[in-house]
């Protein structure tokens, strides 16, 4: 009987550069877990996996929406009560010249839509290094080269504005900020934000501001400043959502607020809106949680920040007493990004740590880093007993490995 030759289906060449370090390393963890080992997970920024319950009034708002029949398609840009609640909060926070607000399937979708509507193949966006790897994955999908600017570890992980300016090319279309920052836990200062605005003005760049952790600053000496509140003449798109501050990452509800001159933003926003119309809508009943979240009780935030402050301090103290580890103290979000004084690369370090001590963190190179430096990202969401066990195992690993 004749045999038919099998022809493989190959992925597009652009997929070669699509990586997501946080989830990719979890595949190794699954193998370790199948061998019967208990993994201590310090890799995923999901507060729902720990002692951070979702505010009940938000759950009730979604259940009511479902019972009231809000289970079909919604408006493409978001339901009216949600858009109005986002608009009111933005105005309370000092946003001016608001031109568009739209809700997406998590902040990830609005980020993807905004980049897709802006960039042609070969264009680039100035992205922080280290960065949240979603941006690099989207850029790779769009056939756009990486153009990282460095965050200055010696200056509290502030963006290096001089390096940013050196990296601008004729194909640069935008500047990305992530503040409070994932993976470093840093918070941009007002001075830094003003310098970035001036750079954007001179080079006619749009600013993307990822502020998903804006309510999770636990350092009493720090304050979140939205860059959109500092200028009305620069086009700015600010990303936010329910997932982190309101403890519902699985609901996949995020949004964007576009501010700046209408005549500058209008054609771009029309393109973004066309993309959103093409995918119909974000999940309808969960959008009813936006009004409840932004204008309902905020009691949970104080408790969340208190827990994060204690766990951040616990992490800083561990780093101080651990050889080969140096940490810039985080000020917001729930990440620490210590540097490692080790002879091998940081992927080898964290992989062996996982296999030998069953602690899962993420290699710093998965987020980008300066040549010659090595880091790991720690998520300090777990309760102190879990952190204590993980940090003791990590200290033991370092002592044994580098006698």
Average pLDDT, stretch 252-273? 97
pLDDT band of residue 276 (cuts 50, 70, 90) is very high
pLDDT of residue 7: 79
* Per-position DSSP letters for 38-100, written without gaps between them: PPEE-S---GGGTT-PPPHHHHHHHHHHHHTT--S---TT--HHHHHHHHHHHHHTT--SEEE
Write down the mean pLDDT value for the chain. 95
Q: Give me 26's structure tokens.
A: 């979890």
Whether the pLDDT of residue 23 is over 70: the answer is no
Whether the pLDDT of residue 86 is over 90: the answer is yes
**How many CB atoms within 10 Å of residue 108?**
18
Long-range CB pairs of 137-141 (<8 Å, 24+ gap) are: 137/18, 137/19, 137/20, 138/111, 138/112, 139/115, 140/14, 140/15, 140/16, 140/17, 140/18, 140/19, 141/14, 141/15, 141/18
Whether the pLDDT of residue 13 is over 90: the answer is no
pLDDT of residue 320: 97
26: Cβ–Cβ under 8 A, 6 or more apart, which residues? 43, 44, 360
Residue boundaries of the structural domains of the chain: 13-53+300-401, 68-295
pLDDT of residue 158: 98
pLDDT of residue 168: 98
Backbone angles phi, psi at 159, to 5 degrees: -60, 135
Render pLDDT for 42-76 as a digit per residue (tens, 0 to 9). 998 999 999 999 999 999 999 999 999 999 999 99
pLDDT of residue 20: 63
**Domain 13-53+300-401 sits in CATH 3.90.1150.10:** yes
Whether the pLDDT of residue 22 is over 80: the answer is no
Whether the pLDDT of residue 21 is over 80: the answer is no
92 half-sphere exposure, CB direction, 13 A CA radius: 8
Spatial separation of the C-alpha atoms in residues 324 and 343, rounded to whole Å: 10
Q: Which helix (H) or strand (E) covers residue 269, if one does? A: helix 262-278
pTM over 0.85: yes
Could you tell me the fold of the domain covering 68-295?
3.40.640
Whether the pLDDT of residue 128 is over 70: the answer is yes
Whether the pLDDT of residue 1 is over 80: the answer is no
Whether the pLDDT of residue 16 is over 80: the answer is no
pLDDT of residue 264: 95
Rg over alpha carbons for the chain, rounded to the nearest Å, is 22
Distances (CA, A) of 309 to 28, 124, 216, 312: 30, 36, 10, 5
Sheet holding 376-379, edge to edge: 335-336, 376-379, 362-363
Whether the pLDDT of residue 316 is over 70: the answer is yes
């Amino acid at each position: 009987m004749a045999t038919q030759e099998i022809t493989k289906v190959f992925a597009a060449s652009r997929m070669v550069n699509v990586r997501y370090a946080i989830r990719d390393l979890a595949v190794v963890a699954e193998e370790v877990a199948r061998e019967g080992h208990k993994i201590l997970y310090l890799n995923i920024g999901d507060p729902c996996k720990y002692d951070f319950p979702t505010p009940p009034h938000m759950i009730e708002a979604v259940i009511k929406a479902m019972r009231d029949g809000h289970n079909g398609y919604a408006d493409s840009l978001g339901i009216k009560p949600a858009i109005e609640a986002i608009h009111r909060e933005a105005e309370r926070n000092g946003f001016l010249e608001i031109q568009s607000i739209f809700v997406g399937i998590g902040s990830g979708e609005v980020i993807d839509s905004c980049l897709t509507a802006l960039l042609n193949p070969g264009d680039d966006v100035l992205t922080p290094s280290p960065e949240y790897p979603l941006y690099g994955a989207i850029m790779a999908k769009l056939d756009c080269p990486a153009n990282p600017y460095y965050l200055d570890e010696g200056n509290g992980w502030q963006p290096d504005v001089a390096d940013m300016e050196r990296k601008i090319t004729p194909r640069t279309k935008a500047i990305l900020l992530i503040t409070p920052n994932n993976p470093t836990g840093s918070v941009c200062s007002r001075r830094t934000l003003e310098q970035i605005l001036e750079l954007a003005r001179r080079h006619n760049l749009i600013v993307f501001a990822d502020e998903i952790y804006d309510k999770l600053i636990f350092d009493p000496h720090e304050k979140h400043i939205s860059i959109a509140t500092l200028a009305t003449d620069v086009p700015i798109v600010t990303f936010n959502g329910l997932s982190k501050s309101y403890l519902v990452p699985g609901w996949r509800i995020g949004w964007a607020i576009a501010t700046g001159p209408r005549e500058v933003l209008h054609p771009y926003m029309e393109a973004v809106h066309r993309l959103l119309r093409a995918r119909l809508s974000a999940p309808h009943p969960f959008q009813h949680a936006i009004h409840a979240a932004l204008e309902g009780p905020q009691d949970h935030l104080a408790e969340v920040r208190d827990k994060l402050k204690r766990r951040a301090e616990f992490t800083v103290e561990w780093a101080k007493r651990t050889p080969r580890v140096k940490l810039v103290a985080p000020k917001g979000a729930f990440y620490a990004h210590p540097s490692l004084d080790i002879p091998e690369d940081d992927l080898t370090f964290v992989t062996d740590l996982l296999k030998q001590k069953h602690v899962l963190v993420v290699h710093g190179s998965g987020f980008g880093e300066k040549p010659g430096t090595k880091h790991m990202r720690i998520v300090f969401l777990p309760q102190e007993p879990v952190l204590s066990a993980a940090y003791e195992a990590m200290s033991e690993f370092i002592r044994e490995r580098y006698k």
